[in-house]
Amino acid sequence: MKRTYIYISLLFLIITSCVENPNVTEDVFFDTYNPSSSWVNGLKRQLALTMNQVVINSEMTSDNYFNNYTLYSKVFDKPEIVFTDLDVNRTQVEIGVLREMAEYAIETVLPKDSEAVDSDWSYAYFSKAYALILAGENFIGLPDETNGIVLSSKELLLKSLSYLDLAIEYEPDISTQKVYELLKARVYRSLGDTVNAKLYASKIIGETELLFNVYFDGTNGVINEMQNATFTASENRFAPLPRLDFLDPKYYDEGTAVSDQKPIALVKAEEAYLILAEALTTENKITEAKTILKNLITDVIENRPIAYIDDSRELRNGSNRDDYPKTAVNIRFDNTKPYLPDYVLDRQSGKIKIHTISGTKVTTSDINNITTLDEGLYLIYRLRQEIFISEGRRSADLGIKFPVSETEQQNNPNISDKFTQALIPNFIPLNFELDNFLVDSKTGNITILHDMNSVLVANKTSEYVLPFN
């Protein structure tokens, strides 16, 4: 019963935060005008809190970022993920609260509110679906109800589809319907369903500006923690893999950080192009896939906004590793590849260019040079890494999944020991090598120890990665 009490307490805290009155009871809440509107606002707030946990921990667990300070997990960079870790539990809890809030909206708040509109219902169904998607992408399995049995990651993803259908059915805005359709393509891709993934991704091709964000509110204490970790905080907390340096930071603030919290993209048009190209490539339709990828570059990414910011405070001087490059040097993706310029920025020489939604150094020429399936897959996964950086997507592409937490097991008799083991595929380098690189003592040039996109392609038949193979 302990978990039930925890969730009830959380729901009452959410009710009071939604209506900004600490004396509001459940009965009073339902007697107010249009409680659904307040609850939907609470769902949006909880989505932001959930994404903070997912994004920080996914970026740190992957090869995108190294925790170069002390505030966040000390072991996810290894990666070492154990069910007793508080950050595992925090991530699970935030996803669980989002799911419970959505269910409460669907089962209790919306049916009692005669002023509830279709878009309120749609957002509640979307929130339930997205909680299931986050659970399926990031965990080996989770219960989908308090003290329930564990559903596998695939079962969680499958269950999200019916809620996405309801979100689409109730949503009056056509562009938002397309967002939810793209989410269906994302789920079908994760499930390895090529036919449906292509079907739903194809619906979005040409919708070049499609973008659906989660927003943060610094005034009310819901900051973008990834923005804090990569830009705002004075301690230079997160350091990107040097070949991704040109994409850091994605989020920044000017003036006061409290008033300038940047959103994180949950869904964007780029993903449709990537899903369709990956499916076509695995079908050995290389020419068609190349056309889609070139359109991704010219029609979508090149038209996304950029900004020029002063990032001279960024000295890569965290306390865990002090050899991150501070000036422009050449890098190579591993010791078999040539050195390349312009991946590491000199942040002391003036304002730097940043990509606020999507950026990449993959060019149409690179795409034209694709001749084999593996070359196509390699560029697609490099594009996925660069386009989705700082959005919490990379660890799922690497096949890494968190276990069910110890707290859940202690309070839920349905949790057997097999669910308390993280999934870290055997091709993932351990002992901090995932983020590791070598620095030439004479030139300062950088060699990345592992080009993980090459590793992914080499292991494309693994059940944990490249789902269309």
What confidence tens digit (pLDDT) does each residue in 362-373 have?
999 999 999 999
- Say if residues 277 and 377 touch (Cβ distance below 8 Å): no
Q: pLDDT per residue over 38-90, tens digit each?
A: 999 999 999 999 999 999 999 999 999 999 987 899 899 999 999 999 999 99
**Residue 23 in this model has a pLDDT that exceeds 90:** no
CA dihedral 452, 453, 457, 458 (to 10 degrees): -30
- Say if residues 396 and 55 touch (Cβ distance below 8 Å): no
- Sequence-ordered list of residues with C-beta below 8 angstroms from that of 420, at least 6 positions apart, any chain: 83, 403, 404, 406, 409
Average pLDDT over all residues of the chain: 93
Task: Output the pLDDT for position 449.
Answer: 98
End-to-end CA distance of the chain, in Å? Answer: 43
**Residue 29 in this model has a pLDDT that exceeds 80:** no
Amino acid at 144: D
Angstrom distance (rounded) from CA 462 to CA 153:
16
Task: Output the pLDDT for position 17.
Answer: 45
- Sequence-ordered list of residues with C-beta below 8 angstroms from that of 369, at least 6 positions apart, any chain: 375
Nearest alpha-carbon partner for 195 in 182, 180, 185: 185
Domain boundaries, the chain: 2-458
Q: Judging by DSSP bridges, how do beta strands 437-439 and 446-448 pair with one another? A: antiparallel
Q: pLDDT per residue over 91-125, tens digit each?
A: 999 999 999 999 999 999 999 999 999 999 999 99
SS3 content of the chain, % helix, strand, coil (to 5): 50, 10, 40
- Say if residues 384 and 397 touch (Cβ distance below 8 Å): yes
Q: pLDDT per residue over 177-223, tens digit each?
A: 999 999 999 999 999 999 999 999 999 999 999 999 999 999 999 99
Angstrom distance (rounded) from CA 448 to CA 466:
22
Q: How confident is the model at residue 319 (pLDDT cuts 50, 70, 90)?
A: confident
Helix (H, G, I), strand (E, B), or coil: what is residue 421? strand
- What percent of the chain stands above pLDDT 70? 93
Angstrom distance (rounded) from CA 342 to CA 129:
40
Nearest alpha-carbon partner for 9 in 93, 88, 91, 92: 93
Q: How confident is the model at residue 21 (pLDDT cuts 50, 70, 90)?
A: very low
Cis status, amide bond into 249, omega within 30 of 0: yes
Record: fold of 2-458: 1.25.40
Strands (E), 60-133: 65-67
- Sequence-ordered list of residues with C-beta below 8 angstroms from that of 280, at least 6 positions apart, any chain: 198, 286, 288, 289, 292
- Sequence-ordered list of residues with C-beta below 8 angstroms from that of 109, at least 6 positions apart, any chain: 30, 35, 36, 39, 116
Q: How confident is the model at residue 145 (pLDDT cuts 50, 70, 90)?
A: very high
